[in-house]
A and B are shown apart, each in its own frame.
Chain A
C-alpha cells in the first residue's frame, strides 16, 4: 500500500513535469512558426472581411503580441500557477469555460465510443481467442482488417446516409442530445473495436496457452473459477493498458469525425485554436491532454497492479 502511495505521488509529479514540458514545447513551437501572429489572431477573431491594419495593430497591443515571447510565456506561466488559464485571444472568453464545454463533449463521445467498442470487442476477442482459427476468429479478423483500413469518415458517411437520411432514425449531426451521440460514437466505437478485439484475442490466446492455466486445470478448478481467477484477470492486464491509451487518443485525435458529425470536441477546439494561433487556448488544451495521458496511464497501472500484484514486485514500481 505504501508502495502504491509513493508511486501515485511520483506519477503526480511526473504528470506535472510532462504537462509543463508539453505546454512549454507547444509555446516554443508556436513562436517559431512563420508568419505574423497578430494577423492570424485578427483574422480568426474578426474573419477575413473584418480584417484591417488598424485592427491588426489593436490586437497586437491588446494581446501583448508586441512584447517579447518571454514576457508572453511568463504571463501564461503566472496565470497557470495561480490556476487561471487566461482568456482566449479570439473570443475573449475565459479559457476554462471554453475548455469545459469542449472537454465535456469529448468525454461523452469517448466514453460512449469506448462502451460500444467494448460491447463488440469483448465477445469478439474472447471467442476468437478461445477458438483461434475458427470461423468466428477468421470473420473477426476480416472485420478488423476492413474497419482498420477504411477511413472513419467513410464509415461515418455511410451511417449518416443509411440511418440519418434514408431511415431518419438518428440525427445526422449536432451535439444537443444523447440521440446525436449515437452515430459518431458508433462510428468511432466500431473503429476502436477493430483494434481492441485483436488485442483482447491475443491476450486470451496467451493466457489460454499458459502453463499456469494448464496447472490450474490439472488441479481440477471449475470453468468459471478458472476463468474469473486466472483467465480474465491475467488477460486483462495488457488489454487495460491498451484501452487507457486508446481512451486518451480518442479524446484528442478524432477531429475528422468531430468535423463530420459537427461534434465540437477537444480536437475541434485544438484545430481551430491552432488555425487562429490562440496561444492561451492551445497551451491549455495541450496541458489538459498531457495531464490526461499521464492520468489515464496511472489509472491503468493501478488497475493492473490490483489485478496482478506481480507488476509491483517485478518493477519495484508501477
Chain B
C-alpha cells in the first residue's frame, strides 16, 4: 500500500513540475482583457461600456486624449442659426456586423431608444431625433446646447443595426460597427469578439479578443501573473507594484477625470460657512495621502479635475494647498474654539460629523481614515461609516447626508460640463452639491452651454473651475488613477483617460 501511495505522489509531483502549461497557456492569438465591470445583460444602456471599450460598438463622436470632440461615425455636423437644430452627416460605406449599411434611420433609432431609457441625452435637452437623409440625421434640442456632440460620445449612445432590436425596441443582440464583432458570451462575465473583416477604418491587427469580468482585484492580478490575461484594468497600487517588478508586464498609471472628493452638506451649520469649508480643505494633506496610500504623488487633487482633462484643468488656478495653521486660524475666525476634549465647539455645538463612504472602490475607506486623522489635528471630529454606495444618493435625496467621500466620474461625457452641470448646476443630482447653490455658477454654466465660440467657452470653463475652487461645495482630495497592466507581448497600447475608446485599437502582437 505504501509503495502505491509513494508511486502516486511521485507521479503527481513529476507531472506538476515537468508538464508544460497545457491548461493555462490558452490560445496565444486571443487578446484577453480582465476588468472589474460585469455586464448587465447584452444591451447598450447598461453594458454599452464593455462593447464600446472592446471595439464592438461605436458612437457618432469620440474624444481625443485632451477631451476635444471629433467625429467617429459622424463625418461632420452643423448647427442651425437657432442653435437648437443639429444635422449630423454620417460617414459613408460603413456596415454593421450584420452587413447592413449604417444609415441615418439606423442611427436615429439607436439614439431614440437611448433617449427613451433616460440616458445622458435626456439631460442634453433633446426634443426630437429623426433621419433626414440616407446618411444624415437631425437632432433638435429645446434650447441651444453646444455640448451635444460631447454627449453623443457617451457609450449609451452606441449605434447598432436595426436587427439588434426586437419589436419592443429591446436589444436582442449586438450588431455594431466596430473593429470587433460579438462572437459569443457566457453569462454576464465573458464576452468573445472576432475581428470584423469589413471594418470601415484601419483593420485590427488582433484577430480575437475576450473580455473577462473579474470583480476581485487580486484575482485580476493572479490572472495576469498566470499568463491568463494580456491586459488588466483597475489594479490596486499593491498589485500594480508586484506586476511592475515582473519583466513580463508594463504597468501604466494614468490620472483620469474621476476625482475622490468630499461632498459636504452645506445646509449644516458646520459647512454653511465658506471659510469653514476652506479650512477643512486646508487641513487635508492631499500629497501625503497620494504618496503614502496611493503611491502616486501626482494624484493629489489641487483642483477639481486632473491635467488629463485638459479642457477642464486650469494650470493657472491657485492650487488647493495643505496648511493646517491657516486652517486653524480660519476656524478660529469663524468662531470655532477648542473644547475640553480638543474638538472645536461653537454655540455649544461640537464640530463633529459623519462621513459615508463605500468599499466598492477599495481605496476610499483608507483615504477617509487618513482625512479623519488630518482633520482631528485641527479639532474636527469625523466619524466614518462604510456602507453600500447606494446609501449616499439615498441620504443625499432625503437631505440626511452630512458628508460623503465618493469617486466622481467627470469623464463619462468627454466634456466635463455634463457632470459639472448635473452636480453643481441649478438642480444638483444625487452625487452633487448638497444645499449649495451659486447664481454666478449657474449663469456661467448656462452661458457655456449656449455658446459656440471656443475661446469664450474656455474662459467660461476657467470661471467655473474658479468658482468651485473658491466656494468648495465639494472638496477634491485625490484624482483617480487608472492602473493598467499589459503584457510585453503587446505593442501600440494607448490608454484612453476617458475610457470611451476601444482598448484594442492600434494594439498588435510583438513579433
Chain A interfacial positions (CB closer than 8 Å to B):
35-36, 39-40, 43-56, 58, 88, 90-93, 98, 101-102, 157, 160, 163-165, 167-177, 179, 182, 259-262, 264, 272, 275
Contact = CB atoms under 8 A, between A and B. Distances in A.
Given A52-B123, A262-B219, A91 B40 contact: yes
Contact of A92 (B156, B170, B212): B170
Given A101-B187, A174-B228, A49 B24 contact: no
A136 B23 CA distance: 34
Contact of A49 (B118, B214, B218, B412): B412
Contact of B422 (A52, A102, A182): A52
Interface residues of B, number: 57
B206 interface: no
Given A35-B394, A168-B227, A261-B219, 5 more contacts: A53-B429, A56-B393, A168-B24, A169-B15, A179-B22
Nearest to A92: B41
B41 A93 contact: yes
The B interface is mostly helix, strand or loop, or mixed, namely loop
B21 A169 contact: yes
Contacts of A49: 409, 412
Contact of A160 (B17, B41, B222, B360): B222
A148 to B, nearest CB: 23
A39 B393 contact: yes
Contacts of A175: 186, 189-190
Contacts of A260: 216, 218-219
B431 interface: yes
6 contacts: A40-B388, A50-B412, A163-B16, A169-B23, A173-B214, A260-B216
B223 A172 contact: yes
A165 B222 contact: yes
B424 to A, nearest CB: 15
Contacts of A43: 389-390, 393
A171 B216 contact: no
B43 interface: yes
Contacts of B422: 52
A262 B187 contact: no
B226 A168 contact: yes
B397 A39 contact: yes
B223 A173 contact: yes
Contact of A262 (B15, B216, B409, B429): B216
Given A43-B389, A164-B222, A173-B219, A36 B227 contact: no
B259 to A, nearest CB: 13
A122 to B, nearest CB: 14
Nearest to B412: A49
B25 A168 contact: yes
Contacts of B225: 164-165, 172
